[in-house]
């Protein structure tokens, strides 16, 4: 009741502030240093002017501040035991030096401090609220807060080309900052972004480590750490603290684990290699191609055209198509075709290598192979302040797609908040509508979106594989944004999600009474962002 009352209080407060702010006529202000996209990631509008001498590197440098408040309420209809509400404050302070002869540097410090609504059980079973703290730090040291230098890189710019070395945000097809909580996903490595070739952008990256949103340390880009050298027992549940990809990332391939990679003689310190090209040489056509790979394990290729068709009365219809092919380069024989790693049956007593049955096993046609593919298509109809989209995606009945870097292969087509729909033999439909009431001259500072997603999962895999995501489901999700007129640097967002899922029928998810488990739930999130 305390958490529900707090949620109602926050909603009422937001409503009153909105009503009070509605009639405010803000004075014109200069362009802000940064603005937020709909996904709450940052766009830099103003950068430091070039320095003419060494001392101006710092005197002309600029700070970019951000204060954030997040509230999460998650209600799983199948159980009343764990109600992982999260409520925290935090933010970031980023400093950019002025460039001198093309050389500059950036450092970004981030913090998130939980406000005491979570308890020990939430550290084990928390869902959305867990991103307000580091599960590893909480279970090991009792620390509910996160503090991390997530960005620290040097940059050299020349001929419309930027070279960055160090800790940084890197956006690509399968990597993203995913900055919807407190601390973005960042990577360590080397990146190049260039617009030197007309009508073309080129992006290259060699990434050596990554940090997830709810981690305070950097770790390997693919290894799932299943070592049991640190064990905490809480009410009969063994929780293994992991320094690498762990249970905090639902998209990690748990079969590509520390112990299994070691047993197979493979490296547990891997690199992520990325190359992407976006070309607009043909009028109204945007064509993107991406390569993403972990050497000696697997790689993928993606191609995507989007073509704008002008219609009468100012309407624009944009059909798009995305094709992704995932290629096995040794990962299948180590971890199997399923992301949850349950196709591995053990270790060979002679060689010590992981054993994955070949051929059809537990719903997968080729259990020791991660070769797979995805087809996705969409139609976007837009005019002025609004747009609607219908999207479809289909994953081949081969292997799950491996994407633990918070980029989503179905993003922009059928992916919605908190959902993954890139398991083998999953087909999804999405309808989305967005309208910017401010741009339309109706309600200043206000915009909204709503989407409906349905996913048809492979029932055989759900039954045999014990995959908690493997049930047919229907999702309704809505986002509301409001930029305050009295304080234009302050923006609020409310997110609602309702999921209706088929009961899980596999033995691994039966409850203690022997009945199937209802995966349905609701998810409410509230966020305030202040940029300065």
SS3 per-residue string spanning 382-445: EECCEEEEEEEEEECCCCCCCCCCECCCCCCCCCCCCCCCCCCCCEEEEEEEEEECCCCCCCCC
What are the phi and psi torsion angles at 137 (to 5°)? -65, -35
3-state helix, strand, coil in the chain (%, to 5): 15, 45, 45
In the chain, the domains with their CATH numbers are 8-531 (2.40.160.10)
Closest CA to 424 of 409, 413, 435: 409
Angle at CA 407, nearest 5°, toward 148 and 285? 130
Q: How many residues does the chain have?
A: 532
What is the predicted pLDDT for the residue at 373? 97
Query: CA 115, CA 125: separation in Å to the nearest integer?
Result: 18
Q: Three-state DSSP class for 132?
A: helix
Q: Which string of b and e fits 414-450 if b means at least 16 CB within 10 Å? A: bbbbbbbbbbbbbbbebebebbbbbeeeeebbbbbbe
Residue 439 CB contacts under 8 Å (≥ 6 apart), including other chains: 384, 385, 447
CA distance 214 to 212: 6
Phi-psi region of 36 (alpha: psi -120 to 50; beta: other; left: phi over 0): beta
pLDDT at 512: 40
Instruction: Find all residues with CB under 8 Å of 133, minimum gap 6, and list them.
Output: 86, 88, 112, 114, 118, 123, 143, 144, 145, 146, 214
DSSP code per residue over 455-514:
EE--HHHHHHH--TT-S-EEEEEEEEEEE-SSSTTEEEEEEEEEEEEPPB-SGGG--TTS
Within 211-292, residue ranges assigned H as helices are: 258-263
Q: Provide the 3-class DSSP secondary structure of residue 335.
A: helix
Q: Are 423 and 396 in contact (CB under 8 A)?
A: no
Q: Are 392 and 374 in contact (CB under 8 A)?
A: no
Q: Which residues in 136-173 are b (16+ Cβ under 10 Å) and which e? A: bbbbeeeebbbbbebbebebebeeeeebbebbbbbebb
Q: Please report the pLDDT score of residue 78 as a whole number.
A: 61
User: What's the confidence (pLDDT) of residue 112?
Assistant: 93
> What would the 3-class secondary structure string for 146-213 be?
EEEEEEEEEEEEECCEEEEEEEECCCCCCECCCCCCCCCCEEEEEEEEECCCCCEEEEEEEEEEEECC
- Hey, which bits of 229-363 come out as E strands? 231-234, 237-240, 272-279, 285-294, 298-307, 309-310, 316-328, 346-347, 354-355
pLDDT of residue 11: 56
Angle at the Cα of 294 from the Cα atoms of 292 and 297, rounded to 5 degrees: 125
Identify the CA nearest to 96 among candidates 135, 123, 57.
Answer: 57
Residue pLDDT tens, the chain, 532 long: 444 554 555 555 555 555 556 555 545 567 789 999 998 889 999 999 999 999 999 999 999 999 999 988 888 766 554 555 678 899 999 999 999 999 999 999 999 998 766 666 667 666 677 778 887 777 777 788 899 999 999 999 999 999 999 999 999 999 999 998 899 999 999 999 999 999 999 999 999 999 988 888 899 999 988 876 554 544 434 444 554 445 456 678 999 999 999 999 999 999 999 999 999 999 999 999 999 999 999 999 999 999 999 999 999 999 999 999 999 999 999 999 999 898 999 999 999 999 999 999 988 999 999 999 999 999 999 999 999 999 999 999 999 999 999 999 999 999 999 888 999 999 999 999 999 999 999 999 999 999 999 999 887 776 555 444 568 899 999 999 999 988 889 999 999 999 998 876 554 444 443 445 677 888 999 999 999 9
* Interatomic CA distance for residues 518 and 532, integer angstroms: 44
- Contact between 146 and 136 under an 8 Å Cβ cutoff? The reply is no
Are the CB atoms for 459 and 424 separated by under 8 Å? no
Query: What pLDDT, on a 0 to 100 scale, did the predictor assign at position 236?
Result: 39
CA distances from 247 to 240, 277, 443, 462 (A): 9, 33, 42, 19
Q: For residue 299, what pLDDT is reported? A: 98
Instruction: Return all residues near 36 (Cβ < 8 A) that are at least 6 apart.
Output: 42, 43, 491, 529, 531
pLDDT computed for residue 18 by the predictor: 56
């Amino acid at each position: 009741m305390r958490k529900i009352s707090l949620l109602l209080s926050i909603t009422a407060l937001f409503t009153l502030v909105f009503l009070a702010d509605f009639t405010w006529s803000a004075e014109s202000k200069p362009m802000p240093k940064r603005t937020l996209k709909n996904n709450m990631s940052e766009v830099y509008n103003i950068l430091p002017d070039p320095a003419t001498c060494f001392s101006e590197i710092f005197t002309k440098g600029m700070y970019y501040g951000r204060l954030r408040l997040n509230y999460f309420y998650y209600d799983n209809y199948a159980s009343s035991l764990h109600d992982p509400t999260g409520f925290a404050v935090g933010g970031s302070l980023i400093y950019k030096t002025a460039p001198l002869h093309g050389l500059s540097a950036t450092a970004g410090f981030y913090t998130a401090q939980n406000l005491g609504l979570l308890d020990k059980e939430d550290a084990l079973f928390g869902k959305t609220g867990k991103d307000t703290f580091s599960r590893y730090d909480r279970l090991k040291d009792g620390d509910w807060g996160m503090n991390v230098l997530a960005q620290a890189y040097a940059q050299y710019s020349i001929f419309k080309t930027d070279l960055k070395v160090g800790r940084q945000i890197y956006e690509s097809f399968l990597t993203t900052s995913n900055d919807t909580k407190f601390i973005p996903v960042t990577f360590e490595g080397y990146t190049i972004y260039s617009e030197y070739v007309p009508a073309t952008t080129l992006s290259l990256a060699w990434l050596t480590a990554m940090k997830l949103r709810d981690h305070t340390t950097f770790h390997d880009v693919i290894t799932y750490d299943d070592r049991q050298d640190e064990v905490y027992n809480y009410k009969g549940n063994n929780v293994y603290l992991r320094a690498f990809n762990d249970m905090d990332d639902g998209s990690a391939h748990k079969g590509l684990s520390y112990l299994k990679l070691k047993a197979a003689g493979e490296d547990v310190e891997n690199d992520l290699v990325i190359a992407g090209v976006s070309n607009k040489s043909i009028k109204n056509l945007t064509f993107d191609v991406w390569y993403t790979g972990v050497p000696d394990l697997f790689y993928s290729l993606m191609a995507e055209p989007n073509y704008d068709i002008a219609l009468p009365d100012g309407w624009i219809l944009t059909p798009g198509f995305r094709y992704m092919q995932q290629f096995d380069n040794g990962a299948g024989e180590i971890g199997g075709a399923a992301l949850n790693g349950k196709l591995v049956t053990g270790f060979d007593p002679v060689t010590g290598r992981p054993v994955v049955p070949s051929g059809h096993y537990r719903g997968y046609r080729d259990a020791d192979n991660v070769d797979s593919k995805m087809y996705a298509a969409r139609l976007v109809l837009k005019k002025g302040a609004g747009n609607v989209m219908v999207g479809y995606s289909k994953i081949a009945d081969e292997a799950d797609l491996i994407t633990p870097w918070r980029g989503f292969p179905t993003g922009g087509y059928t992916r919605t908040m908190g959902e993954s729909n890139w398991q083998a033999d999953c087909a999804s439909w999405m309808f989305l509508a967005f309208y910017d009431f401010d741009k339309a001259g109706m309600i200043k500072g206000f915009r909204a979106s709503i989407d409906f997603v349905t996913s048809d999962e492979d029932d055989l895999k759900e039954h045999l594989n014990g995959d908690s995501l493997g049930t047919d489901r229907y999702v309704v999700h809505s986002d509301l944004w409001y930029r305050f007129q009295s304080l234009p640097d302050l923006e609020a967002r409310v997110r609602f999600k309702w999921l209706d899922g088929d009961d899980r029928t596999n033995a691994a998810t039966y409850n203690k009474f022997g009945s199937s488990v209802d995966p349905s739930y609701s998810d409410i999130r509230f966020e305030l962002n202040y940029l300065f």
